[in-house]
Amino acid sequence: MRTPKGIFITGTDTGVGKTVVGAGLALVLKERGLRVGVMKPVATGCFGEGKRLISGDAVYLFEAAENEYPALTNPFRFRNPLAPSVASVIEKREIPIEKIRRAFRELQTHYDYIIVEGIGGLLVPIHKGYFVANLIHEFGLPILIVARGGLGTINHTLLTIDAAQIRGFQIHGVIFNRMPRVNLSVAEITNPKTVHDLSGVPVLGTLPEMEDVDVDRCLFGSLRETFKERIDLDRLLGLETAAR
């Protein structure tokens, strides 16, 4: 069965670990012999000076996939850790969506599979009237939702699923990230099954906190092996559904 050409990783909130999930997927797919391209269309909270701003998230994805086109990976970077629409006004720099479209189309010509990481959740505004959800629609990719494991995630995850389904997005599943390895709370134990039972969306697995994985220091540690052990890759790629 032919592997689908890409996935768009979104989250129930900011800081849920989309970058680690994207890097883990890239590492595993590379091991399977695929040429994997990664993209972080817009990043905020970057470091550096002027036009030399750097996104730690984009660098982490880029290194995990061993890509060759940094300008395509992360077309827009802003210093302020804000929604892109707000950061672009403060920093007096527009975000022409056509530049993002061109970068995505070019990446598709170089790689077998494209992993796109959004910014925050589905309704984060990129500019006035244009949200992350609009970008997903234009790219035409299925989505993977990354969620926290603890209290409150049922509401956040179901709202994200609902917003995605209203827009007709194909949801390949949910991954619960940064789960404790021991002493899980009752919420952390029950939330994955509850979300699946209430939404019907597959829960593809859970990823624990990994002390040897660090985005800021670009450390991958046990990420690849942990991803392989704990995540249902065939469902994530849509292969199980396609085989039915």
Domain layout of the chain by residue ranges: 6-243
Return the CATH fold of 6-243.
Answer: Rossmann fold (3.40.50)
What residues have CB less than 8 Å from 24, skipping those under 6 apart?
64, 207, 223, 224, 226, 227, 231
Strand partners, 144: 9, 173
What residues have CB less than 8 Å from 18, skipping those under 6 apart?
9, 10, 11, 57, 117, 118, 146
First to last CA, the chain: 11
What is the residue-level pLDDT of the chain in tens, covering all 244 positions?
Answer: 344 599 999 999 999 999 999 999 999 999 999 999 999 999 999 999 777 899 999 999 999 999 999 999 999 999 999 999 999 999 999 999 999 999 999 999 999 999 999 999 999 999 999 999 999 999 999 999 999 999 999 999 999 999 999 999 999 999 999 999 999 999 999 999 999 999 999 999 999 999 999 999 999 999 999 999 999 999 999 876 554 4
Residues 129 and 120: their CA atoms lie apart, in Å, by: 16
**Nearest of 223, 228, 232 to residue 196 by alpha carbon:** 232
State residue 241's pLDDT score: 53
Active-site residue, from 5, 18, 40, 128: 40
Residue-level length of the chain: 244
One-letter amino acid of 104: F
Residues 51 and 78: their CA atoms lie apart, in Å, by: 9
Confidence (pTM): 0.95
State residue 51's pLDDT score: 73
Q: How far is CA 135 from the centre of its chain?
A: 13
Torsion of CA 100, 102, 107, 109, to 10 degrees: 160
Largest CA distance in the chain: 51
Handedness of CA 97, 148, 144, 122 (dihedral sign): negative
30: annotated active-site residue: no
CB 12 within 8 A of CB 156: yes
143: tokens are: 């989505």
81: tokens are: 């850790």
CA distances (Å), 14 to each of 5, 103, 161, in order?
Answer: 25, 24, 16
State residue 123's pLDDT score: 98
State residue 240's pLDDT score: 62
**Side-chain half-sphere of 223: how many Cα atoms within 13 Å?**
26
What residues have CB less than 8 Å from 157, skipping those under 6 apart?
12, 145, 147, 174, 195, 199
DSSP for residue 206: E
State residue 3's pLDDT score: 47
Question: 107-119 in b/e burial notation, b at 16+ Cβ within 10 A?
Answer: bbeebbbbbbbbb
What Rg, from alpha-carbon coordinates, does the chain have? 17
State residue 29's pLDDT score: 97
